[in-house]
Amino acid sequence: MLTRGDITRFPADAIVNAANEHLGGGGGVDGAIHRAGGAAIMAELESRYGPDRHCPTGRAVVTGAGHLPARWVIHAVGPRWRGGGSGEAELLRSAYRAALDLAERLGAHSIAFPAISCGIYGYPVTEAAGIAVGTVAEHLRIARALTRATFVLFSAETFDAFAAALERAAQAD
């Protein structure tokens, strides 16, 4: 599923945050989630993962959702774009898989994703959309708990790229 909007207002069991390795909040989706969710999210990150909060690229961690319309926030760390020759595609797939695996372990039935790594990290949106759509579709075929995954995308350009990736995936099936 695909929608254009603000992920901080989207109701789902789990909302995915495009986090940085230091889990410190930041700009873009990360900053918006921390602002809308409130201080409880950062407090839980510090409580669970220590003052040095670190999550490697391609991995994910979970907290409660604070004031967000979700039960959990899954903080997934995508790669910075370095031209495509530094394993970025596999790291991006890994970030999506890690978020999906955490959602399954939590028993989430629905999950909402932003376009991980497509903002300040500079990942080309067309390539990222294909990776995201393919990874999520592959997981949903074998999912135990998850029944709905939605990409909640802020800009028209990103929405259009993900819509095209969904169309390509549907034609390939």
Residue 97 tokens read as 């898989």
Q: Strand 60-64 and strand 2-4: pairing?
A: unpaired
Spatial contact of 100 and 113, defined as CB atoms under 8 Å apart: no
Q: Which residues pair with 21 in a beta bridge?
A: none
The pLDDT value given to residue 143:
87
The pLDDT value given to residue 122:
97
Closest CA to 17 of 117, 114, 104, 91: 114
Query: Does residue 24 surpass a pLDDT of 90?
Result: no
The pLDDT value given to residue 30:
96
Query: Does residue 50 surpass a pLDDT of 90?
Result: no
Check residues 166 and 173 and name the one with the higher pLDDT: 166
Which residue in 6, 30, 160, 173 is the catalytic one?
A: 30
Residue 135 tokens read as 């990874």
Query: Does residue 173 surpass a pLDDT of 80?
Result: no
Domain ranges, ordered by start, for the chain: 2-172
Q: How does DSSP assign 83-128, residue by residue?
A: SS-SSHHHHHHHHHHHHHHHHHHHT-SEEEE--TTSSTT---HHHH
Mean pLDDT of the region 88-93 = 98
> Is-catalytic flag, 30?
yes
- 31: Cβ–Cβ under 8 A, 6 or more apart, which residues? 25
Query: Does residue 25 surpass a pLDDT of 90?
Result: no
- Chain segment 95-142, per-residue pLDDT in tens: 999 999 999 999 999 999 999 999 999 999 999 999 999 999 999 999
> Kindly report the CA angle at 13 between 9 and 18, in degrees rounded to 5?
65
Mean pLDDT of the region 130-156 = 96
Q: What is the pTM of this model?
A: 0.96
The pLDDT value given to residue 42:
95
Query: Does residue 52 surpass a pLDDT of 90?
Result: no
CATH of domain 2-172: 3.40.220.10
Range in 19-28, 88-97, 156-165 with the lowest mean pLDDT:
19-28
